[in-house]
Amino acid sequence: MPADSPLLSVRSLSKRFGAVVALDSIDLDVSPGSIHALMGENGAGKSTLIRCLMGAVRRDGGTVLFEGTACDPASPRHAEAAGLSTVFQEVGLIPHMSVAENITLGRESRRWGLIDRREARARARRALARLGLTIDVDQELGGCSIALQQLVAIARALDVSARLLILDEPTSSLDRRETAELFAVLRRLRDEGVGIIFVTHFLEQVYQLCDRITVLRDGAHVVTRDTRDLPRPQLIAAMLGRTPAAPGASVTSAAPADAAPLLRATGLRRRESIEHADLTIPRGAAVGLAGLLGSGRSELARMLFGIDRPQGGRIELNGETFSPRSPRDAIARGIALTPENRKSDGIVPNLSVRENIVLALQARRGVLRSLSRREQDAIADEFIARLGIKTPHREAPISTLSGGNQQKALLARWLAANPALLILDEPTRGIDIGAKQEIESLIRGLINGGAGVLFISSELSELVRACSRIVVLKDRRTIGELRAPGLSEEHILEAIAAHA
């Protein structure tokens, strides 16, 4: 194979699901020894493209050449055998098996028909060594951090001598340090000649890591260019199909006096969750929770929403003591939460978009005062239009929507219930820029209406834009509060770094 010929060459790849064109004549070339970013909004077709390449779904048309030969895998197993491996967004490994088994499962070395465990361990160690890792391969995978699990998944791909590695949103659950470690590994593999397709929503990571960028939009190829030739504004424009608004001026709601806050929590603690947390949420303001992964952001939200009960400290809501025993109590007092894991905790997959949207409102009204179907339809249509939820119809099952649109429907559920306090836990994770901007403008609308918002996000720029105060958590303690003006990502990072 000549050195300049691509490792993977995709031409006119198409895929339809029923009447919907998911991929329309996609071209993609990936060179060996390069990291190629695949970007696009939700519904752009990135996941479908990966699934087609891996044989998880069969393409309808087009050609794929891998190392110069035609490649049409019937299943992920065949793709792996050919030299393509994918590390999926939700790590697809087996939690109660050892690291070594997870690396070799399905293709164990055998002696006399029986699995050779010693050889499995040796192979696992070799694959991990290529990533610069020396860990105990006998430990159970489920006990490892998500970051380490991801590296194990990559090691598994290397164990089949993958020449093309596809990473689908690998950094969405990693903190900065872990992301840096992952990038070091990826650069190392690139230098060994492995081709890498890197799917992500984090713009900065693309510029840190990738050599080339391909943007998809609505199932079509938009642009492919070397990273240095595609500056950020152009990339965003390509993804959105429009010129993006200038970075929004930060919200300028004057911080109201703390005399009568909406919610005040003091000295909250709970074993293995939060050591000490103080938090004040004024009326008509958005308060951000910043901190690294594992700093206790979601845990704090869970306490306020009555999922976990604090073992110490007190919460006051509207000046009265508030000790919710369940989310029901919290909802009855006008608190709403969109959970971090929308798939398992948020949506009801088989119910329609309409049913998912009216769920909370109905719950607040109780069974006796049911919403008429006309009212439900009106509410659902209003929010589908207001939030720009892309769905064929309000009666479509919510599970058929893309992640970003599911998230919007979930938001609509709580907005319809008109909460006094809305807690948003990573509402923008895994969703596209357009949807992010819409969510930010929704937050603005809510606080203008006098509600309080507690906004949890790993993207500091987002917090800075949307919030007038930011409470910083570190190692399960609140370590300080930053207030506008003078809010910036640097200030937050300084606060985290300075607090030893």
E strands within 262-359? 263-270, 274-281, 286-290, 312-317, 320-321, 335-338
Closest contact distance (angstroms) between CB of 164 and other proteins is: 15
- Number of C-beta neighbours around residue 293 at 10 A: 16
Closest contact distance (angstroms) between CB of 76 and other proteins is: 4
**By the rule CB under 8 A, 76 interacts with other proteins:** yes
Comparing CB distances to other proteins, the nearer of 159 and 178 is 159
Comparing CB distances to other proteins, the nearer of 153 and 189 is 153
Binding flags for other proteins, 417-436, as an x/- string (CB under 8 A) = --------------------
Comparing CB distances to other proteins, the nearer of 45 and 76 is 76
For the sheet with 84-87, list strands across it.
84-87, 164-168, 195-199, 35-39, 212-217, 220-226
Query: What totals of helices (H) and strands (E) does the chain contain, helices first?
Result: 16, 22
Residue in 61, 57, 47, 48 with CA at minimum distance from that of residue 11: 61
Binding flags for other proteins, 85-114, as an x/- string (CB under 8 A) = -x-x-xxxxxxxx---x---xx-x-x--xx
Comparing CB distances to other proteins, the nearer of 154 and 285 is 154
Window 185 to 244, contacts with other proteins (CB under 8 A):
none
Closest contact distance (angstroms) between CB of 150 and other proteins is: 13
Window 286 to 315, contacts with other proteins (CB under 8 A):
none
Comparing CB distances to other proteins, the nearer of 84 and 439 is 84
Binding flags for other proteins, 31-70, as an x/- string (CB under 8 A) = -------------------------x--------------
DSSP state string for 49-101: HHHHHHTSS--SEEEEEETTEE---SSHHHHHHHTEEEE-SS--S-TTSBHHH
Closest contact distance (angstroms) between CB of 75 and other proteins is: 7
Window 156 to 175, contacts with other proteins (CB under 8 A):
156
Cα-Cα-Cα-Cα dihedral of 386, 390, 391, 392, to 10°?
110
**By the rule CB under 8 A, 271 interacts with other proteins:** no
- Rounded Cα–Cα distance for residues 355 and 394 (Å): 9
Comparing CB distances to other proteins, the nearer of 101 and 169 is 101
Which helix (DSSP H) or strand (DSSP E) does residue 20 occupy?
Answer: strand 20-30
Which residue type occupies 496? I
Window 140 to 159, contacts with other proteins (CB under 8 A):
140, 156
Helix, coil or strand: residue 317? strand
**b/e map 163-201, b = 16+ CB within 10 Å:** bbbbbbbbbbbbbeebbebbbebbeebbeeebbbbbbbb
- Number of C-beta neighbours around residue 248 at 10 A: 12
- Rounded Cα–Cα distance for residues 393 and 229 (Å): 40
By CB under 8 A, the count of residues binding other proteins is 30
**By the rule CB under 8 A, 139 interacts with other proteins:** yes
Comparing CB distances to other proteins, the nearer of 163 and 394 is 163
Closest contact distance (angstroms) between CB of 442 and other proteins is: 32
CA distances, 234 to each of 163, 238, 365 (Å): 31, 6, 47
Closest contact distance (angstroms) between CB of 94 and other proteins is: 5
Tokens 């910036």 -> residue: 488
Q: Which stretch binds other proteins (CB under 8 A): 5-13, 58-66, 82-90, 288-296?
A: 82-90
Comparing CB distances to other proteins, the nearer of 117 and 269 is 117
- Rounded Cα–Cα distance for residues 377 and 390 (Å): 16
Closest contact distance (angstroms) between CB of 88 and other proteins is: 5
**Terminal C-alpha separation, the chain:** 54
Comparing CB distances to other proteins, the nearer of 21 and 115 is 115
In contact, 318 and 259? CB cutoff 8 Å: no
Closest contact distance (angstroms) between CB of 73 and other proteins is: 10
- Rounded Cα–Cα distance for residues 371 and 141 (Å): 47
Closest contact distance (angstroms) between CB of 117 and other proteins is: 8
Comparing CB distances to other proteins, the nearer of 313 and 397 is 397
Q: Which stretch binds other proteins (CB under 8 A): 131-139, 186-194, 242-250, 363-371?
A: 131-139
Query: Could you tell me which residues are beta bridge partners of residue 9?
Result: 29, 65
The binding site for other proteins (CB under 8 A) comprises 56, 75-77, 79-80, 86, 88, 90-97, 101, 105-106, 108, 110, 113-115, 117, 136, 138-140, 156
